[in-house]
Amino acid sequence: AQKVTQAQTEISVVEKEDVTLDCVYETRDTTYYLFWYKQPPSGELVFLIRRNSFDEQNEISGRYSWNFQKSTSSFNFTITASQVVDSAVYFCALSEGGSGTYKYIFGTGTRLKVLA
Amino acid sequence: SAVISQKPSRDICQRGTSLTIQCQVDSQVTMMFWYRQQPGQSLTLIATANQGSEATYESGFVIDKFPISRPNLTFSTLTVSNMSPEDSSIYLCSVDGGPAYTFGSGTRLTVV
């Protein structure tokens, strides 16, 4: 069955520290998509990245980077030089199937607190 | 990507009453999804709404409690019926906005 595990419930770091949020997934499909979303205190969900199961290249976007490893079923998210504005709950999600746009399964989220 | 307007943004309701949440999308979409996020919890899919057919509900959710309408390709409503304090949650609608789901800003419901 599908499952997404975010073992870190809450992380606190001091501004400018690097922080990695872990995500481990389970699926029987060979075709699937993985996502990260950010939920700031205002409550909306902000899409950060999508990665398909056939693309294991790591991705960097500014201070954000993602490490996808099929061998360990992990899709970890690193924020470099964290800032107070990064404080939010971060969700990892999995979608099975060729389109990658149906029935997301979300992890329980990691609350990141960046202290000034 | 699609832009979703969801309302109300928040409400406080008496137990036993019903609340209807609306989502308007700025483009036509085939499927709309309704999620619930209980306090401090993750998102759980309630149902998938296709235009012109009955919604498909996930295990643990029933149409009598969460009736959904989908009258056209840009609009959907979710009603939370006969509310109890356990229904206090954030309710979010979502569409396939390419390359991922786009979410509405959510309805923060408190049942007293």
Judge contact between A88 and A64, C-beta under 8 A: no
Residue pLDDT, tens place only, B22-64? 999 999 998 899 999 998 889 999 999 988 788 999 999 999 9
Residue pLDDT, tens place only, B3-26? 999 999 999 999 999 999 999 999
pLDDT, position A100: 46
Query: Which residues of chain B have a CB within 8 Å of the CB of A35?
Result: 100-101
pLDDT, position A102: 72
pLDDT, position A30: 87
Is B103–A44 a contact, with Cβ atoms under 8 angstroms apart? Answer: yes
- A83 to chain B, closest Cα gap in Å: 23
Q: How far apart are CA B103 and CA B97, in angstroms?
A: 9
Using a CB–CB cut-off of 8 Å, the residues of A that contact B are 35, 37, 42-45, 47, 50, 91, 100-104, 106-109
Residue pLDDT, tens place only, B65-103? 999 999 999 999 999 999 999 999 999 999 987 788 899
Q: Which residues in chain A land under pLDDT 50?
A: 100-101
**How far is CA A86 from each of CA A41, A82, A91, B94, rounded to the nearest angstrom?**
11, 7, 13, 23
pLDDT, position A97: 64
What count of other Cβ atoms lies within 10 Å of the Cβ of residue B102?
20
Nearest alpha carbon to residue B11 among B70, B95, B87: B87
β-pairing, B89-96 vs B107-111, is antiparallel
